[in-house]
Amino acid sequence: MALAIWIAVIIVVLLILIVMYYYNRFAVLSNRIDNSLSQIDVQLRKRADLVPNLIETVKGYAKHEKGIMKEVTDARKALLAAKDLPSRVKAGNALQEALKSIIAIAENYPQLKANENFLHLQQELAAIEDKVAYARQHYNDSILTYNNLVTTMPGKLFASVFSRKEKEYLEIPAEARAVPKVQF
């Protein structure tokens, strides 16, 4: 009789430990996803903060390129005003496209290409773009780990108990996936 009670207690304790493990696992993975998303925001903000300096540097050389300057400024404002993930991603992609235009201006202005400030800003922008790409990759990797837990057994059972559902990946719009055209 005492043996049966001990076995029952051990089984109950084991079940409690398993439930705690899965609850904590979901919590940790959700926190990792939130952190990854905030890292994307940090890098997008750094990019947006760099834009005014880049524009001022380019303005001195390309006074008649006002349309591109306005496009970059508007894209930056949209990024800073974006409230949710889809609008931040859309605004970030628009800013990235607008910044490509600024970099292309340098091809027409050899003095600008040689300008130390421009080169420094261009290098900094490239570094930030790498960090944005890495942050996006880390976010999607975190989503993958979470979704694997939600969709595989026994995690699927616990996901339904804890009302956890699959999360969506951060996707790049089709126009951003297009291969850039290079001409010499």
In a domain, 177, yes or no: no
Residue 127 sits in a domain of what CATH number?
Answer: 1.20.1440.20
Q: 180 falls in which pLDDT band (50, 70, 90)?
A: very low
Domain extent, residue 54, equals 2-167
Structurally, the chain folds into a number of domains equal to 1
Residue 182 has pLDDT above 50, yes or no: no
Dist. CA 128–CA 122, nearest whole Å: 10
- Kindly give, in sequence order, each residue whose CB lies less than 8 Å from that of residue 106, ignoring residues fewer than 6 positions away: 58, 112, 113, 118, 122
Q: Is residue 123 part of a domain?
A: yes
Does 42 map to a domain?
yes
In one letter, which amino acid is 182?
A: V
Contact assessment for residue 170 and residue 139, using Cβ atoms and an 8 Å cutoff: yes
**Residue 112 · residue 106 · CB < 8 Å:** yes
pLDDT of residue 126: 80
Left if phi > 0, otherwise alpha if psi is -120 to 50, otherwise beta: which for 89?
Answer: alpha
Nearest residue to 47 (alpha-carbon basis) of 1, 82, 21, 7: 82
Distance from C-alpha of 88 to C-alpha of 38, rounded to nearest angstrom: 11
Q: Tell whether 179 is covered by a domain.
A: no
Which two three-digit tokens encode residue 6?
Answer: 């001990």
pLDDT band at 148 (very low <50, low <70, confident <90, very high): very high
Domain assignment of residue 17, yes or no:
yes
* Number of helices followed by number of strands (H, E) in the chain: 7, 0
Q: Is residue 97 part of a domain?
A: yes
Residue 84 lies in a domain: yes
Amino acid at 73: T
Residue 91: pLDDT above 90?
A: no
Question: Is residue 183 in a domain?
Answer: no
Q: pLDDT of 38-57, one tens digit each?
A: 888 888 888 778 777 777 76
